[in-house]
Chain A
Amino acid sequence: MVKTDLLAMLVPAFPLVGAIVIASLRGKLKGNTAGILATAMVVLSFLCSGVLFVGHEVVNALHAAGMHQESPPEGAMHVVKLFNWISVGSMHIPFAFQIDALSLTMMLIVTGVGSLIHLYSIGYMHDDKRVNTFFSLLNLFSFAMLMLVMGGNFLVTFIGWEGVGLCSYLLIGFWYTVPAYNYAARKAFVMNRIGDLGFLIALVMIMQQFGTLDYGTVMDKSAGISTGSPWITTVTLLLFVGAIGKSAQLPLFTWLPDAMAGPTPVSALIHAATMVTAGIFLLVRSSSLFVLAPITMDVVLTVGLVTALITATIGVFQNDIKKVLAYSTVSQLGLMFVALGLGAFSSAMFHVTTHAFFKALLFLGAGSVIHALGGEQDIRKMGGLKGVTKITYFTFLMGTLAIAGIPGFSGFFSKDAILMAAYEKHPLLYAATLGVSLLTVFYMFRLLFLTFFGTYRGKAHPHESPRVMTVPLIILAVLSVVGGVLNLPHLLGGHETMKHYLGTAADGIAGEHMHLAPATEWMLMGITVGSIALVIWLAYNRFAKKTTLDPEAEELSFFKRLIARKWYIDELYAALFEKPYGWLSAQLDAIMEKRVIDGAVNFTGNTTLRLGKVLRRVQTGNMSFYLFAMVVGIIGFLLLTIWSA
């Protein structure tokens, strides 16, 4: 166990040390040193996670001889306590890590995908002047993300939660001389903080109710809470507010597309593969609370579905290669929340995993394209790249096929699990989620065809990226293709390995049950695959041989323009919140502060002055008058004395 403790500490320690060392030596490190160092740190971290995983797996298998059992086996949850962080009165919050199936899965994703992206960044950021700062921040992000997933209690998770928000802010605004980027960064941070507000209140409430924030104890004690009580509904809703902020769901999703201002590897790591899935992680982590709050589950479902639909429609009309992927990310996250709302926690986590593979791949591929075209991001000015950038094209194709859910690719399995769960709840829900996936297929193939097919419409001289960038692409492509085996459904001869594995860590997953007849499942799969094929054919006809540019948003019909302009949500928020906020701030200062409060104070002062002005008239300077007044006064007092006696 000592070895486990040490390894668990090393996992976040490596990137932290990397971040600090690179940051303090950023003036001295030359060339690729920082990049190699940063990558090495994350790789080491990955190796430690791997060793932990293997060790844990063994323990797990020893205890759980069979796959099906009710309670998680002994040793499935190992808490590494470092020291007492906050200990006041009866409140004891240790600085602790929790090593279990859930955190291990996330650790492997974060460090695994993270190392590939670090490696890729060495090539991508090669020419940037502040490459050392970049890698320091990237390492810091890895540290924060690991804190988030490894936290042994809610508050340690919250450290990571805010930490990743900070890193996201710093990396979105990495090119800080551009005001628009800074604005995007600030927007991301503030929207995240609004989510954090909910999270923090939920934490305080949990603390108050259970007297602890340790996941294990909260899980045990939540059994005593009655289903659907106002308390549990409030707490879970507040936790969900936190998830909304971090995972960019309605109404706080607008920061994520803007976050594409950051360098592309950042978009891949933070805004696709890891940070934005923190919301899903949180809900799975506290699934023992969520299963007790049916109202919240419905809210989660609704928010997820609406977000997925809205952003999928927006994705169709985007012309910036990264923006398309960003809206796709929001939409996919929406799907994951749909799964959570349906109680299919394991499907959500499965989709988190496969999404991490193929979305990271797509973003890195997009980065490779941008790199190839010298910074061009507009897909209308691309085309015909498949001949020039062969590896990028091929890997990008794999990613697209995976996200589209072509049978055999990882996305197929994870998305199919969500669709099945939706059908079990209601066929209409199935239709809606299927609609989202079809929209996904449409805009992804639009992107693919416009970028790699047809003829080149731009002016730059495309070239393939260096090997340091293509190797991660290839690895991710392989993962995107075979990732499905992690949780192969029974129907296709699998054992739902991931579900059972995660079931040892999260109550919600252990309690999941699916009851669909094999025939229904086959039918649904058939419908899904058929419609996907149809949509791909449509997209091919429309975009693959395109030579002309798409029209600007202004020339579209009203409805299309509405979508292309992102439903005017940004404008709406600006008019509803941003402007009134600043205006009220100025008004409060000018009216409340200057007039009312300062006015009252100055009024007191001025009244004193005015009174003084009146009274000073008495001081005429005439001695005789003074004497007279004195005598009158003395006589007055004399009379008063006599009178009162």
Chain B
Amino acid sequence: MMLMTLAIILLPLLAGLVLMVARPHVQARSIALLTSLLCLGLAIAMYAGYDRNSGMLIAYAHDWVPAWGMRIVFGFDGISLLMVLLTAIVFPFIVGAGWKQQLSNPSLVNALILFTQSSLFGVFLAQNAFLFYVFYELALVPVFFLLIYWGGERRRAITLKFFIYTVLGGLTLLFGLVYSYLQLPEPRSADISALQAVTIAPDVQRWLFWVLFIAFAIKMPMFPFHSWQPDTYTMAPLQGTMILGGVMLKMGLYGVVRFVLPIVPDGVAHWRDVVIALSLVGCLYAGWIAFRQRDLKRLVAWSSLSHVGLMCAALFVGNTAGITGSLYQTLAHAIIVVALLYLVGGLKERIGTTELAAMGGLKVKAPRLAALFLLVMLGSIALPLTQGFVGEWLMFNGLLEVSPWWTFLGVISIVLGAIYMLYAYQRSMLGEDRWKMEIADADGIDHWVLVPLIAATFIIGVYPQPVLDLLDAPVQQLLTLINTAH
């Protein structure tokens, strides 16, 4: 187990370094794909070898800066494992999308993707607050280069905005972590488990809550800290958007679960309604705005924003159904966002634009592509028997325990989702054939990427228990932590 845990972090890192030094442009994608598939294998092996009742499994621990409580600790429980699985599942497809997106300097692109993957594994496996912080910020670096070198229009301004936003959040997070760390009695340890047991005065928790939360709120992003997101998603190269929307935003949700909820439970209780209200407002606001987006990629960005709003709201309800649903939904969301973005990329490659107004009638010439789009869309609007439905059902249940009105607001989002997704589908795929040129139907690569993702959506939607079981024990543990603190 120890070997696998380290290997899953180091493997993409080393492969990335090899790509960067050797620059095998032709084989770069294949090497990256192989690496990410190996990581997937490792993640599955970790899942298979993990007894879900065994709690936190520390796989590796080594002193780093003992005086400040810093240790290099890697380990995982059900929540971490779910995040690792999510990352591992999604990345092969992100790399696979590279077959269609011919970016210049493929070695570097794939190296950066692998670096991101490595640091994301680090984030989810690190069990020391400062180690977590290092990986949390480290993950930003390769993405920054992906955006600034391979981004679209206005990439400098938008990347700068994104970067300032996240770094600002990161710094407040660091401050919050250091502050919480100093509240611990001597001898201190910055291990997450130790930090979670800290007791902080309730009035301090009220401001410390925002200090800790703001970084994650920006990363998700939660309304009203989201204004970097639509621009960045739209401008970023396809694979960059996939990383941002598919995995990186889950760092925010994961951070809330690991740090905000256990460290400042009184602060959470105090601000709970505000956060839920903001999240749900954001959920509806984004869902509403998505309807009138002219650009399909931007529409996906807004829809992601809408879904994340619901997930964030459900995280704060403080009951089993809500938190489990929210965490479960991270997986569903990752798969759907990557699939949707892949389709957007596929459309761009075929007709050279992602403007909805320029599309229409593609189903005539590309019926298989339209069918795939439809299936992905079903996952996105959370039809029962897709993964999304299970998550949403649990989240609505969790919200109701707080207030029926929250459930009502949340459920409205399913109508908004249907409105904008069906509209987008109609505008892009249906209608009369208006294309003089040949438009290629979905080919082998499209199938290789989309079919597994769609299949996963339906399989886990019909039988979600393996994932739900994984979350059972850690969520109970988290709730005990929160409730004993009161």
Contacts and interface: CB of A to CB of B under 8 A. Distances in A.
- Chains A and B share a contact (CB less than 8 Å): yes
Interface of A: 83-91, 95, 155, 158-159, 161-163, 166, 169-170, 173, 176-179, 182-183, 186, 189-190, 193-194, 196-197, 200-201, 204-205, 207-208, 581-582, 584-586, 588-589, 592-593, 597-598, 601, 605
Contact of B291 (A189, A193, A205, A582): A582
A208 B418 contact: no
A95 B464 CA distance: 12
B465 interface: yes
B292 A589 contact: yes
A189 B418 contact: yes
Contacts of A85: 462-465
Interface of B: 161, 164, 224, 226-228, 285, 288-293, 320-321, 324-325, 361, 363-364, 374, 378, 383-385, 390, 393-394, 396-397, 400-401, 404, 407-408, 411-412, 414-415, 418-419, 422-423, 426, 429-433, 462-465, 468, 471-472, 476
Contact of A588 (B164, B228, B285, B404): B285
Contact of B400 (A83, A163, A178, A208): A208
B418 A597 contact: no
Given A177-B432, A190-B418, A204-B407, 10 more contacts: A85-B462, A85-B463, A176-B431, A190-B415, A200-B396, A201-B407, A204-B397, A204-B400, A205-B400, A588-B285
Given A159-B385, A176-B363, A598-B227, A186 B422 contact: yes
Nearest to B412: A197
A173 B429 CA distance: 12
Contacts of A176: 363, 429-431
Contact of B289 (A190, A196, A589): A589
Given A86-B390, A585-B289, A586-B292, A91 B321 contact: yes
Nearest to A592: B285
Contacts of A592: 285
Contact of B404 (A91, A173, A205, A581): A205
A586 B291 CA distance: 8
A87 B288 contact: no
A197 B227 CA distance: 29
Contact of A201 (B291, B374, B408): B408
A170 B377 CA distance: 13
Contact of B430 (A90, A159, A177): A177
Nearest to A601: B227
B242 to A, nearest CB: 24
B472 A88 contact: yes
A182 B288 contact: no
A595 to B, nearest CB: 11
- Scoring B226, B401, B465 by chain A CB atoms within 10 A of each residue's CB, the highest score goes to B465
B437 to A, nearest CB: 18
Given A163-B384, A176-B363, A597-B227, A88 B324 contact: yes
- Scoring B224, B293, B378, B433 by chain A CB atoms within 10 A of each residue's CB, the highest score goes to B224
B464 A86 contact: yes
Nearest to A165: B383
A88 B321 contact: yes
Contacts of B224: 597
Nearest to B328: A88
Given A88-B321, A585-B289, A593 B468 contact: no
Contacts of A91: 321, 394, 397
Contact of A158 (B384, B401, B462): B384
B281 to A, nearest CB: 11
Contacts of A197: 411-412, 414-415
A84 B415 contact: no
